[in-house]
Amino acid sequence: MQLKYLVLPLVFVLSACATSQVTMNELDACLSGYSAQIESDYVLPYQSGDAFLVGQGNCTYGSHEIDTSQAYAYDFDMPIGTELVASRDGEVMRVVERFAENNQTPGQENYIVIQHADSSVSGYYHLTQEGALVAEGDRVYQGDLIALSGNTGDSSQPHLHFEVAECEDCQTLPVNFSNAGYHAKGLIEGEAYLAD
């Protein structure tokens, strides 16, 4: 009778290890597509001298899961009204800023989308109401002040959701930032990064 109780936990442990191994393989695959940080065209989307915690990183449980269009997005925890900058040069394609703060309604987030020279885009989401400091068609340069962060749309706390994608509403792309501490495979969830 004691042997039966020993076998059951062993089977559970072995199956748990097999599941973890698959998860680690998937995670390794998801985190393998970054270019060298030194070659990055992007800077952190907030002002030099500021530091913020990555509340959710790439390929992580939640809204940035592996094999989803948001796998390579970042959530930076920051107070409402934090000044945001253009992460890369480009033209402002889309500005939405009409939604009220703390609405917690999917699809009712304020945001800016900027298109870059290679046709990729960067998106800045959950901005505060009337928090856009640029207009559609404006040309912006890396480091220009573009918006104020907020807590609009499907958001549980004030933060900036930042992403780079092939096009608006396309698959997100892995990106490193030239002005942050070393991070070969993207910023690490739970760590704060200073914009140098």
Q: Supply the range of the domain harboring residue 85.
A: 37-194
Q: How many CA atoms lie within 13 A of 21 on its CB side?
A: 6
Phi, psi of 14 (to 5 degrees): -65, -40
| One domain for residues 72 and 155 | yes
Side chain identity at 68, as an amino acid letter? T
| One domain for residues 4 and 52 | no
The model carries a pTM of 0.87
- The angle at the Cα of 167, spanning 164 to 170, to the nearest 5 degrees, equals 80
Specify whether the backbone of 115 is left (phi greater than 0), alpha (psi in -120 to 50) or beta: beta
- What would the two tokens of residue 96 be? 């939405």
| One domain for residues 155 and 77 | yes
Q: How many domains does the chain have?
A: 2
| One domain for residues 11 and 63 | no
Confidence at residue 44, expressed as pLDDT on a 0 to 100 scale? 98
| One domain for residues 24 and 43 | no
| One domain for residues 66 and 149 | yes
Which residues of the chain fall short of a pLDDT of 50? 1-22
CA dist., res. 52 & res. 77, Å (int): 6
| One domain for residues 111 and 185 | yes
CATH of the domain at 51: 2.70.70.10
DSSP conformation letters of 47-58: -TT-EEEEEE-T
| One domain for residues 10 and 79 | no
HEC assignment per residue over 72-134: CCEEEECCCCCEEECCCCEEEEEEECCCCCCCCCCCCCEEEEEECCCCCEEEEEEEEEEEECC
Confidence at residue 26, expressed as pLDDT on a 0 to 100 scale? 87
Q: Give pLDDT tens digits for 106-128.
A: 999 999 999 999 999 999 999 99
| One domain for residues 121 and 161 | yes
Count other Cβ atoms within 10 Å, centred on residue 116: 17
| One domain for residues 163 and 68 | yes
End-to-end distance of the chain based on CA atoms, in angstroms? Answer: 64
Confidence at residue 15, expressed as pLDDT on a 0 to 100 scale? 34
| One domain for residues 71 and 21 | no
| One domain for residues 100 and 144 | yes
